[in-house]
Amino acid sequence: MTLSHIIPAPRNILLSHYYYLKRDIDRLGGACRIVADSGAYTARYQGVTVTTKQLALWTKHWEQNLAWVACLDIAHPDTSRTRTNWLKMVNDHQLPAVSTLHAGDRPDEMDWYAEQGVDFLGIGGVAGANLTAAAKWHWLTSVFKYAQDNHPQMRFHGWGMTGSDVVKLPFWSADSSGWGNAYRYGRVTFRDPFSNKDISLALDGKAVFKHPELMHMLRDGYGVTPKQIAKAGPHNRDLLVRLSALSASVYEQRWRYMYRNRPVEAPKWGRLKGWNFGDDPGPHIHLVDGYNPHCRIVADMANEYWRDRES
Amino acid sequence: MPTQFIEQREVPTADLKPHPDNPNRGSVDDLAISLEEFGQYRSIVALTDGTILAGHHLVEAAKRLKIPTMRVDFVECDDRTARKILLADNRLADLGLGPSLDLLLKNLSELDGDIIGTGFDDDYISMLEEAVSGPPEIDDMFEEAEETPAKPEDFHRRLTILLDPRFITRWEAIRKMYDTDNQAFASLLGEDDIPPLDEDDDDDDEVDVSAFGSETDDE
């Protein structure tokens, strides 16, 4: 059930191989644009090692559904090990995997990838790192500055980066797990599709009724009434997943609006058999959730909304 | 039932009366400014007995400005239709996606700051400019970031470990012998420099491909 006729349904998902090792990804297919990373960082904390071979075989198994996949990457400053993993994906497994520059890596690390014909890299190690805002911003802008001056064809995916400062940078895509705060923590940010206004509130049974302007936004923008979502609980969990996805979609639309006169063209590198972006320019935001039913809700929304429009 | 247009007439403002159930709450202050600036550019809509259906707050603003007469389109309709018009007059304007921000800014910009009576102010225009302007130039962002450049140690990770206090004393003594945490820690490991990580991406391991997609249970 698509709730809103005003807000486009989200259609971009990021899956982690580790979480979806045994999941049926065919069930997420269709209008959804699915990309994948290894999930190796999380796996390591659970005592599990993800290997390139495992990631590659899994990618090939689901390649019809995957738009692109990231290789196993190693945090700064081990760029050579990231290169080794990338080469294994490309040469041993014939998969055009997407590699990653990590916070602190020299921007000219992208030279080596550009020489291999790559025009698409991830940028990681920024979200959740112990970096000061100034250090983070200096490094990020230096990477984009270097790309602009030396490899203007290079496109970037921002791992876990969708903050209001980050969206000033011309990422082709990024991903966010923060969109799920409503159903995880009972706290939600509704982004107004009619303006740039956001309303954040706790779904505690009361707060939603204290925002008169929210009623219009919810009813006309999101297609629900305040009463339906006043208190978060199992009874409305699926509904909150849908609303959270729509709110993330508003955020994505604002980002795309910012770049409407300077669209970020799609990269050529990384395209797997399941590439269904066409040449749709960025930026795009991919929603992340390790819990399969939530991704299926997003996939259902995407299928209902986009299939009609694209057929 | 559709309304029936009766006539357009200039009538004393005092003869116009609000609908008793009008739910709308307009900004009389802004409408008064607009009325002073532009005069009455749109007719009030009222029943033939003077009950207003559309334009309540414009009439209120006119009364505040002591404007003696107003132009009114008089209509006839039944009570139900009158009530529906009352609701529709404001509600219908709220529906849809709202104005195009680009065109809104274009129009406001062409007024060169002469925006009195439009209901917009300078803060609103600044907000619009920010929304419409697109992203900043990378060169500008980089130049600004260069004022507080990142240092290599900004990208080091912090390690928190729980130790017997006697280890802390020993660590502090060792730390004083070196210039950096890295050098001191390397000495504890018996290394001159940071040792390479063990290779752990063991691609010789068998992969059970039959496990892919094997779980159909969502939980």
- Per-residue pLDDT tens over the stretch A214-250: 888 898 889 999 999 999 999 999 999 999 999 999 9
- Ranges of H-type helices in B162-205: 165-176, 181-188
pLDDT of residue B177: 94
For position A55, which CATH number holds? 3.20.20
User: Do residue B201 and residue A49 have CB atoms under 8 angstroms apart?
Assistant: yes
Alpha carbon of B162: minimum distance to chain A alpha carbons (Å) = 19
Q: What strands, in cross-sheet order, belong to the sheet with B4-12?
A: B4-12, B69-76, B44-47, B52-54
Chain B interface disruption, residue of A6, A89, A141, most B CBs within 10 A? A141
Give every CB contact of residue A182 below 8 A, 6+ residues apart in sequence. A188, A203, A232, A240, A241, A243, A244, A247
Q: Helix, strand or coil for residue B38?
A: helix
Does residue B211 belong to the interface with chain A, where contact is any CB pair within 8 Å? yes
Question: Which parts of chain B have pLDDT scores under 70?
Answer: 195-203, 216-219
Residue A200 covered by a domain: no
Residue A229 covered by a domain: no
Q: Which two tokens stand for residue A66?
A: 């995957």
CB atoms within 10 A of CB B92: 9
User: What is the per-residue pLDDT across B155-204, written as a single tens digit (0 to 9) for each?
Assistant: 988 888 999 999 999 999 999 999 999 999 999 999 887 766 655 556 67
Question: Which parts of chain A have pLDDT scores under 50?
Answer: 1-2
Domain holding A179, by residue range, is 12-183+241-310
pLDDT of residue B158: 83
Instruction: Give dist(CA B92, CA B74) in Å, integer.
Output: 21
Residue A89 covered by a domain: yes
The total of structural domains in chain A comes to 1
Residue A188 covered by a domain: no
> Which stretches of A172-282 are assigned E, i.e. beta strand?
173-176, 187-191, 198-202
Nearest CA in chain B to A50: B201
Does residue B94 belong to the interface with chain A, where contact is any CB pair within 8 Å? yes
Chain A interface disruption, residue of B139, B144, B212, B218, most A CBs within 10 A? B212
Alpha carbon of B45: minimum distance to chain A alpha carbons (Å) = 26
| A95 contacts on B by Cβ (under 8 Å) | none
pLDDT of residue A42: 83
As a whole number of Å, the CA-based R_g of chain B is 36
Residue A164 covered by a domain: yes
Contact A205, A141 (CB under 8 A): no
Half-sphere exposure for A262 (CA within 13 Å, toward CB): 14
Does residue B218 belong to the interface with chain A, where contact is any CB pair within 8 Å? yes
Q: Helix, strand or coil for residue A253?
A: helix
Nearest to B28 by CA among B59, B69, B52: B59
Residue A258 covered by a domain: yes
pLDDT of residue A127: 79
| Beta pairing partners, A70 | A98
Instruction: Give dist(CA A238, CA A245) in Å, integer.
Output: 11
Instruction: Give dist(CA A250, CA A273) in Å, integer.
Output: 29
Residue A249 covered by a domain: yes
Instruction: Give dist(CA A179, CA A125) in Å, integer.
Output: 20
pLDDT of residue B196: 67
Residue A199 covered by a domain: no
